[in-house]
Structures are given as structure tokens and as C-alpha cells.
Amino acid sequence: MDEPAVVLESVSVTLAGADRPVLRSVDLSVEEGELALVVGRTGSGKSTLLGAMCGRVPHFTGGTLRGRVLVHGRDTREHRPRDLADLVGVVGQDPLAGFVTDTVEEELAYGMEQLGLSAATMRTRVEETLDLLGIPELRDVPLRELSGGQQQRVAIGSVLTAHPRVILLDEPTSALDPVGAEDVLATVTRLVHDLAVTVVLAEHRVERVLHHADRVVHVAPDGTVSAGEPAAMMATSEVTSPVVELGRWAGWQPLPLSVRDARRAAADLRAGLRGRSPSPVSPRAAAAGRREPVVRARGLVVRHPGEVLAVAGVDLDLRAGEVTGLMGRNGSGKSSLLWALQGSTAPTAGRVRVLAREGGEVNPAGLPPDRRRERVGLVPQSAADLLYLDTVGGECAQADRESAAPPGTCARLLARLAPDVPADRHPRDLSEGQKLALVLAVQLTADPPVLLLDEPTRGLDPVAKAALASTLQGLADDGRALLVATHDVEFVAECADRVVLLAAGEVVAEGPTAQVVLASPTLAPQVAKVLRPGPWLTVDEVRTAVDGEER
Amino acid sequence: MGRLDLDVPRAVHPAAWWGWAVGLAVAASAGTNPLLLLLALAVAGLVVAARRGSSPWARAFRLYLWLGVAVVLVRVLLHVVVGVKTGRTVVLPLPRVSLPTWAAGVELGGDVRLEGLLAAAVTGLRLAVVIACIGAANALANPKRLLRSLPAALHEVGAAVVVSVSVAPQLAESVQRVLRARQLRGDGARGLRALPAVALPVLEDTLERSLLLAAAMDSRGYGRTEPDGPAGRRAASAATLTGLLLVAVGLYGVLDASTPALLGTPALLTGLLLCGAGLWLGGRRVHTSVYRRDPWRGPEWLTLGSGVVAAAALTVVGRVDPDALSLPLSPLAPPALPVLGVAGLLVAALPALLTPPPPRPAARVAPRGAREVRARG
């Protein structure tokens, strides 16, 4: 039997300045040719585990590593990351941040240049890799002009050219739309099946990868690590996919991991649910549908410099007490639409009207910034850009001053959204979920009746995402109109009352969530795919319907 | 000289362009004959127009031309204000301010005469043409490709420069993003007051990016060096340092006639040899290779050669007939047109025809769809 690709022997890692270890006596081995999926809550040490496998921990990050990490027999104590470059390829979350050169071809060659391979070898490997990734037509294209999915595939290709035997991927699809993510994961599985490369992949969106995984490695919040067969691990994991959740609730054995398996197991459930439909939308959403819109956009056009038409004539209404999901692939104009609705970007043509506090309608682009945020609040994609003070308390006090709100308003809001954020903590040290809560609190201090959120679920684990979904529901209950731009179909199924689908800057579909997402195979959540043709979107809906029946 | 291969578009080696440009600049700086200067300028402009690529720096040639125009104007203005006015033909009568005796030699104001004015203009023009030659090299040679042909010992310096160049647009992007975020908090402040609120997030963002990039480069093998004893490293440093010292002494010796002959050219040559040896020794430790190294073939020899011919031709004219290279001022007369000089400069125009055309990348700007401001997660 061959030696395992990666072996960790009683590894403990304590980062510099931390008082407790991130990883605690980890014993783990990953066999050659395996696809190992690493799951765990945000901040539980998934990245540290991957870092330890490529030598970044502790050579690059500092801190103390006890125990031993062997990669194909090479000990990371004696080998720096650069000495493992021919053996281990590392792909991060943001491909653009790791690019060294400007064009696809040069980027693919960079790693080989560092290894000193001959010019002829480099030429053939670049061509092979372009074919393997299916992007030969992109060879001369500047990296910054690629779409997110293409960039991530180039990043994978650029480590692949060095012919590594292990590839580590840290949340490779978190920034991608469903189709881009599928492309990247298809490439990864192809590597595993065709080239027998060992792949270790960390991912929050378990539902995207679970059915490809040979093994699941679970990192617990206390730093202990357990590993095993995916079905066995998923039976107890707190981070799961909707399919697994449905299977656990229904008691299916063996636990299904893919939509296909679940569909085969779900025949009885489907029969039991036939003729029924989820309890009608919440009374709030039903009432909202009858109200006058708070935001009314007509013929909205946004043109960016360089003749890029980002938003091409959009009509949109947002109603108080309603959560609207804004979906569409990367670059379909979701962010541009949000900024134009908020008024910070003046639209090229068309009009936006927001209900004014004193009655009547105003154009948000015509207001000064401080008045504008009292009408429409926006939480941008990189929410942390809004924070610049060194304590949470300082940010809250500053927010109160900015919005002329009574002192303590923002702190109270924050306590409601995330109860356990200490006021003396530096905002950068907060978890992604806490950071988002802080920014949300800052924007809510101005008490805007309309709130726009751009990709709020990025970097959130399923538990934090569920918390965000109920927060947004709560805000809608208060009578606010919410528009959430996101790629995450499961999140939309959880929290949106209505969905607007954008493509190339135009609205292609609009309506109640179930109606829009059920009509599209790429947008349908997993539960809908399992229980098709029934109109079920989430495990909660099914659970409520069945349990209510029994009672 | 190899075949020219003019049919296949490719970038000519950047070092060849720099050699050509320096040759043309040397030729231009040989004299103040405005006819020859304008011919040199036309040659530089022709080659740039014919052979520049599509990169952003290729469009910067115009900036160098404007800089040249500014140089001529400033030179003439300085002459009018404080220059020593020589010549006989008064073109612009101006009052003269008498200065105290300690400032003797500086003339403030005074009648502007044609001869002095022309002399000022042509010296300005000479500098402007030299600047245009440098600009031509910049427009024609991709600076990144030039860095790729550095000796191996300087590989790490080259990589640092390449990275810093690509960081600049990212920095601009993150400033823009943070400014927009400030507006969301109702803060329309600009200028100094907004500095901490903008600079802090941008700085943190930049630092974080640099760390990510450094980690990525590390994992891709950047800086892998063969285990080489300290002795080897010391030998390389010693050779380079001694070499540089000798080059400095040698240059001094060459320029100052009163120093012993041994300190001149021999010291300079030994110094250069030692520098080369140091680079070679240092480069042996680095085992990187270059993907698609720019080839050096016929067109490169031709380009470099045409620059050398221009420089040589003007130097020969300067030795044989120095008057032909300057504008005759007393008495004022039309400048001569030395055949050898004209021929030399025309040779320098050959790369416009006898080099392969630059590659044209296909345009790939999506006609529709937003370039969403990419944020890092």
C-alpha cells in the first residue's frame, strides 16, 4: 500500500498572540487520489488546517506548530512553502489576489519558471493546461478582464502546470455564481478522476461539493478534527446541505448526499405531500403585496465608462415589509442596480423615486449623502469598507453622530442583531457575521425605510446565514423594504418573498420566489429538486406541513 | 544576420529598441543643426507610429512630445528673461533692469535679438529630441518584457518591480471603493478631512493584498534557491562591490586627464568584468527559467545596428566638419545639410519597415454587462 499523500501527526497550532490553539492534537491522513472536503464553522481553523498542509503555517503566518506534517514524505518543518511548490498547489478564495502576472498564458507559466523547467516543457504544459481547463481561446486575455469563474479556473491551472500531487483549495467558489462554481468544481473533479491528484477542499456551501467528496474532514470550534465517510460525518455535522437536513429529518438510511440519491429515497415523502402546498406566505408578505411601493424605478439605465451597459432599462418596485431577492450571474448588473437605486451612482437614464418621510416622492440621487442614507441604506459587497475606527463602540458612537440619532441607538441595534459583540473589540477582529451585523447596525441607525444588501452571505457559514435570514425577516416585519442581491439560491429560498432575475442588465423574470426559482433548473434549491413537481423550497416548509398534519 | 521573418507579428526584443533609441539620442545630441534635429525627431516619430504595440505605455509617446515642447518654450522664456543677449538683429525691444554689482553676469530683461533667440531655441530643441528618443524607446519596448530579460541574479528585483506595477491599478480601485463606501455613511467630505477615513481602509486592504500575494508567490516557488554555501554568496558580493568601485574610479580617470593613465580605461574595463562575474556568480544560485524568452534574431540586429550607424555617422561628421552640425549664428545663415549625417539618420528609420509588426491582441470588452466593482471576500 502506498503512503498517504498528506499525514498530520498530533498537530497542534497556536497562532502568534493567541492564548488557545486553533487546532488541537490533529491526527489525519489523506490518501492519494482522494477528494477530501473540509467543513466547519467560520473561524474554526479550516484555513489553518490547509495552511499547515502547505507549510504556510507556521513558516508564513508565524505561531507555533507542534507535531509533524508530512506531504508525500516531506516534513514541513524542514521544507518551506516554496520548497513544496513542486508537490503542493494552493488556490485561495480570491484568485485575483494571487495573480503575479497580467495575462493567462504568463500566469500559467509563472510557477514553472520558478521551478526552472525547460522552455520546451513549459510550452507543452501550458497548451495541455489550456485544453484541460477548456480555455484555449483566452490565452492572451488580461487576467482582470476574465469573469470570476474563469479567473478561478486560471488560478487552478496556474498551480496545475507545476504538476503537483496535492492541490489545496480554500473556498474556491465563494465569490462565484452557481454556473461559475459548477465550472470550477467540474474542473476539480476532472483532476481527481483523470489525473488522480489528491484534492483537499474547504467549503461553506457544502451542497455544492458534498456529492463529489470521498471523505469529509470536520473541524470543530474547539480545534479538534474528525474525519470519515461523508454519510457518517454528515449524520452529526452542524454544517450540512439542505438534502442532508431533509434526509436527517425524514430518517432516510443511508443518508443521501446528492439530489439524485435523495430523490430516490423520497418517493414516499413525495406521495405523502401530493396535493398539498406550503402554508401560504407569511401574512406580512401577503399584506406587503397590496401596499404602494416605497421605491419605484422606471426605465433605469446605468452606463459605465468604456461604453459598458450595466443596467439596461429596468423597472422595479420595492414594497414595505417585503424581502426581494435579486439574482443573476456575475456581471449581470446586480451591484450597479443597487448603487443606482441608492442614488450614489446617478443613473444614465430613467428615474428612481423613493417615498419621502414627509410624504411625496424624492429622487435619491438629488439628495446630499447624509439625507440619502435616511431614505435608502446600502450594505456594499465589501461591507468592511464602511468601518474605519478602531473599536466597535467607536463605530457605533460615530454612527449615532452621523445620523443625528440619540446616543446608544446603534449599540442597541447591534445588540439586537448580534448580542455578543464586545464594544472594545477592533472591527477587523470580528467574524464575518459579526462584521456584517455591525455594518447593518450602522446603516440602520439612520432608520431608512429601504435597505439594499449586496452579497451579504459571502463568507458566512450555514449557521450564520440562518441567523442573517431571520434578521432580514425581522427587519421586514418592522415594515422595511429589503432588496438582497445574492448568488445563493438556498438563502433566497429561506428569506426572500419575491425574486427578480437579471441578465445582461435586463429583468428576465420577476415574481413570488417559488414561482421564479421552480421554473429554472439552475436556480432551484435542492429541496425543490428532490420534491419536484411539488412547490417546496426549504426543509422548514416541509417540516411545518408534515408536523402540522400529524398534530 | 538571420532571416528577417517579417510576416509573423511579434514583439522585437526590448533591448534592441533601447539600443536603437540610445543611438538616435547620441546622434541628436551631437549638434544643434535644426535640420538634422528635426529629421531625427521625424525618424523617431515614424518608427513609433509604425511599430508600437497596443499597451497603455505605447500611447505615452505623445506625452514625451509635449514635454519636449515645454522644454523648448521654457528655454526660450529663460533666455528672454535672464539670458545673455547676443547678436545684432533686435526683434523685441525690452527695457533692461540694472542689477547690483554682486549679480554681475546675470542680465534681467534687455533687447531680445534674433541670434540669441535662435541659439536658445535650437539648444532647447536638441534636448527635446533626446527626450523624444527616450519616449520612443518607452513606447516601443514593453518594460515588463525588458525586466524578463534581466540577468538571473537580478531576477528578484525584477519580480518586485513587476508586482508593484500591477498593484497600482488595484490601489486606485480600492480608493474608489472606499470613497463610495464613505458616501453610504453620509460622509461627503473630501480632501484632508476625509484622509483618515479613506486612508485607513485602503492601507489595510493593500497590506492584506500584499500578504495574500506574498503567500501565493511563496507557495508557487518564488525565491527557491539551491542550498549554496555562504562562501559562494560572499564571493558574488565581493566581486560585484569591487567591480562597482573600480568602475567609479575608472570613470573618474577617463574624465579627468590629470589622473594616472592606469586609473582610466584599464580600471573601468576590469571593473565591468568583475561586475559581470559577480552577476554570473549570483545568477548561478537562481534556478529559474523564462517562458517564451524574446528571441534575438535578424530584426533585433538590424534595429540595434541602425541606431549605431546613426550615432557613428553623426560622430564622424562632427570630427570631419564640426561646423556642419551647428546653426551658423555670426553671421546668421541657413544651416548646412551634411549628406553623411542625413544618410545616417535615414538608416535609423529602417526598423519602421524591416521589423515584424507588433502583435495585436483581440479586443475583449464585453459590450454588455457590468464590470462589477470586484470586492474581496
DSSP state of A450: E
Residue B220, domain member (yes or no): no
pLDDT-based confidence at A199, cuts 50/70/90?
A: very high
Confidence of residue A229 (pLDDT cuts 50, 70, 90): very high
CB contact under 8 A, B201 and A385: yes
Cell of B172: 486606485
- At A255-275, the pLDDT tens digits run 999 999 999 999 999 998 888
Which residues 152-171 on chain B approach chain A with CB closer than 8 angstroms?
A: 159, 162-163, 166, 169
Residue A510: all three cell numbers together: 420577476
Closest to A243 measured CA to CA, from A35, A523, A39, A542: A542
The backbone torsions φ and ψ at residue A200, rounded to the nearest 5 degrees and listed phi first, read -115, 125
At A280 the pLDDT is: 65
B367 confidence band (pLDDT: 50, 70, 90): very low
Is residue B327 one of the residues assigned to a domain?
yes
Amino acid identity, residue A311?
Answer: V
The band of B281, judged by pLDDT with boundaries at 50, 70 and 90, is confident
pLDDT of res. A43: 76
CA distance A314 to A316: 6
pLDDT value at residue A331: 79
A/B interface, count of CB pairs below 8 Å:
224
At A507, list the grid cell: 429583468
pLDDT at residue B286, rounded to an integer: 74
Residue B261 in domain: no
CA dist., res. A38 & res. A45, Å (int): 10
Pick the more confident residue, A114 or B190: A114
- For chain B, say whether A334 makes contact (Cβ under 8 Å): yes
The answer to whether residue B4 sits within a structural domain is no
B258 at A interface, C-beta within 8 A: no
Domain range list for chain A: 6-239, 240-275+521-551, 283-520
pLDDT band at B368 (very low <50, low <70, confident <90, very high): very low
Single-letter code of the amino acid located at B15? A
Contact present, A203 and A237 (Cβ < 8 Å): no
User: Is residue B228 over pLDDT 70?
Assistant: no
pLDDT at site B369: 42
Beta strand A6-14 with A23-30 is antiparallel
| Strand intervals (E) in A176-268 | 198-202, 215-219, 225-228
Which chain A positions have a beta carbon within 8 Å of B374's beta carbon?
A: 96, 148
Average pLDDT, chain A: 89
Q: Collect all residues of chain B within an 8 Å Cβ-Cβ radius of residue A442.
A: 185
Give the type of residue at B218: D
Topology (CATH) of A6-239: Rossmann fold (3.40.50)
Helices (H), A293-368: 334-342
In tens, the pLDDT along B38-93 reads 999 999 999 999 988 777 677 788 899 999 999 999 999 998 888 877 778 888 88
Helix (H) or strand (E) holding A67: strand A64-71
Phi, psi of A239 (to 5 degrees): -105, 110
Can you say whether residue A328 is alpha, beta or left, with left for phi > 0 and alpha for psi between -120 and 50 degrees?
left
Q: Could you give the 3-state DSSP secondary structure of residue B90?
A: strand
User: What's the pLDDT at B377?
Assistant: 32
Count other C-beta atoms under 10 Å from residue B129's C-beta: 27
Do A94 and A126 touch, CB atoms closer than 8 A? no
Least confident of A186-195, A227-236, A378-387, B88-97: B88-97
Enclosing domain of residue B65 = 14-149+297-354
For the residues A120-134, what does the mean pLDDT come to? 92
Does residue A332 belong to the interface with chain B, where contact is any CB pair within 8 Å?
Answer: yes
Residue B237 lies in a domain: no
Residues above pLDDT 90, as percent of chain A: 51
Q: Is the pLDDT of residue B376 over 50?
A: no
Please indicate, yes or no, if residue B227 is contained in any of the structural domains.
no
pLDDT reported for residue B4: 62
**Total structural domains in chain B?**
1
Q: Provide the 10 A C-beta neighbour count for residue A194.
A: 9
Contact A82 B223 (CB under 8 A): yes
Confidence of residue A520 (pLDDT cuts 50, 70, 90): confident
Inform me whether the C-beta atom of residue A365 falls under 8 Å from chain B C-beta atoms: no
Summarize the confidence of residues A174-180 as an average pLDDT. 80
Greater pLDDT, A399 or A551: A399
Q: Do A6-239 and A283-520 share a fold? A: yes
Average pLDDT estimate for A498-510: 92
**A359 in B contact zone (CB under 8 Å):** no
- Hey, is the C-beta of A304 within 8 angstroms of any chain B C-beta? yes
DSSP string, B324-377: GGS--BTTB-PPP--HHHHHHHHHTTTHHHHSPPPP-PPP---SBS--------
CB burial class (10 A; 0-12, 13-18, 19+) of residue A2? exposed
Query: What grid cell was written down for B136?
Result: 520612443
List, for residues B286-336, the tens digit of each pLDDT value: 778 888 888 888 889 999 999 999 999 998 888 888 888 888 887 888 888
Q: Is residue B1 assigned to a domain? A: no
Shortest CA gap B229–chain A (Å)? 17
- Between β-strands A498-503 and A506-512, what pairing exists: parallel, antiparallel or unpaired? antiparallel
For cell 406587503, name the residue. Answer: A288
At residue A502, the 3 state secondary structure works out as: strand
Query: Is A133 in contact with A151 (CB distance < 8 Å)?
Result: no
Q: What is the pLDDT of residue A94?
A: 84
Of the partner residues A106, A141, A504, the one whose CB lies closest to the CB of residue B369: A504
> Using H for helix, E for strand and C for coil, what is the string for A375-402?
HEEEECCCHHHHCCCCCHHHHHHHHHHH
Q: How far does the CA of residue B184 sit from the closest CA of chain A (Å)?
A: 6
Contact by Cβ (8 Å): A302, A340: yes
Count of residues making up chain A: 551
Pick the CATH number of A283-520 from 3.40.50.300, 3.30.1240.10, 2.40.400.10, 3.40.50.800: 3.40.50.300
Contacts of A273 (CB under 8 A, 6+ apart): A531, A534, A536, A542, A545, A546
Contact check, Cβ <8 Å, B365/A368: no
Does B189 reside within a domain? no
Q: Which residue has the higher pLDDT, A257 or B235?
A: A257
Contact B249, B271 (CB under 8 A): yes
DSSP state of B152: G
pLDDT tens digit sequence for B163-214: 777 677 778 888 888 888 888 888 766 667 777 778 888 888 888 888 888 8
Q: What is the pLDDT of residue A91?
A: 93
- Of all residues in chain A, the percent with pLDDT exceeding 70 is 98
Residue-by-residue DSSP string for B117-151: HHHHHHHHHHHHHHHHHHHHHHHHS-HHHHHHTS-
